Structure 1
Amino acid sequence: MANSASGIAVHDECKLKFMELKTKRSHRYIVFKIEEKQVIVEKLGGPAQTYDDFTALLPADECRYAIYDFDYLTEENVPKSRIFFIAWSPDTAKVRSKMIYASSKDRFKRELDGIQIELQATDPTEMGLDVFKSRAN
């Protein structure tokens, strides 16, 4: 179904891969891209992939949506996990692209039930591991 604000649809594979990440933990991250008026899965990272592997996939001059399954230890040394939604919109991206991603974001997020924390990032420092840790607790 197309998003009324932006006309962008969400491909079924997006929801399927998100459910696999959430329930089976079969992916560490998912990178989504808008292509031909729909959100599609661009890249998947297996459970052994690292945060650095993930950030290396985000283009320096194009917008993306991403999901990252962040594992961490609480102060009591209890292992926990949080599912982050990242709206990646670098300053160097085209204005039209930023507008399309911004106007489609809320509708897309609603399709992915189980997102726990949202981050907006325009450069890598806004989504560093320290940011993930501070937001996860």
Structure 2
Amino acid sequence: MRYAKIINGNLEYAPKNKGAVSNFDQDISAMLADGYLPVIPAVRPDDGKEYGLSYEQAGGQIREVWTLLPPPEPVTLPLAQQVDVLETQTGLTRAVRELVLTENSGSSQYVKDQARKLENMAAPLRNAAEEE
């Protein structure tokens, strides 16, 4: 069993040697006298969710506590960045979209749909830039 102190929310484990004392971390009475307490580990839940580790001191021991963290806030990129990301991911730059969306382009319906979706996102940006 390991012994530690809680300092600023983190564990400080008993050192192997302390001053002139060798194997301090093996001398339970010395560690207890110096304020180190036994650490009771807890198994991190394995359910795919995010947990934070904290510690509770009570009853002469320190217990690990896994707390479910709230899901991160979704990040919404500005429209211009969304368009840039999609153009990079799909390869459907403005020039390519124009070719794909021409009549009888030979592109699959899926590619045409993706190009149209991206074009619909990009058009307001171009219109706003033209108005400036």
On whether the aligned pair clears a TM of 0.5, the verdict is: no
Higher RCO, Cα 8 Å, sep 6+? 1
> Which structure's CA Rg is the greater one?
2
Select the structure that is richer in strand: 1
* TM-score for both structures, normalised by structure 1: 0.23
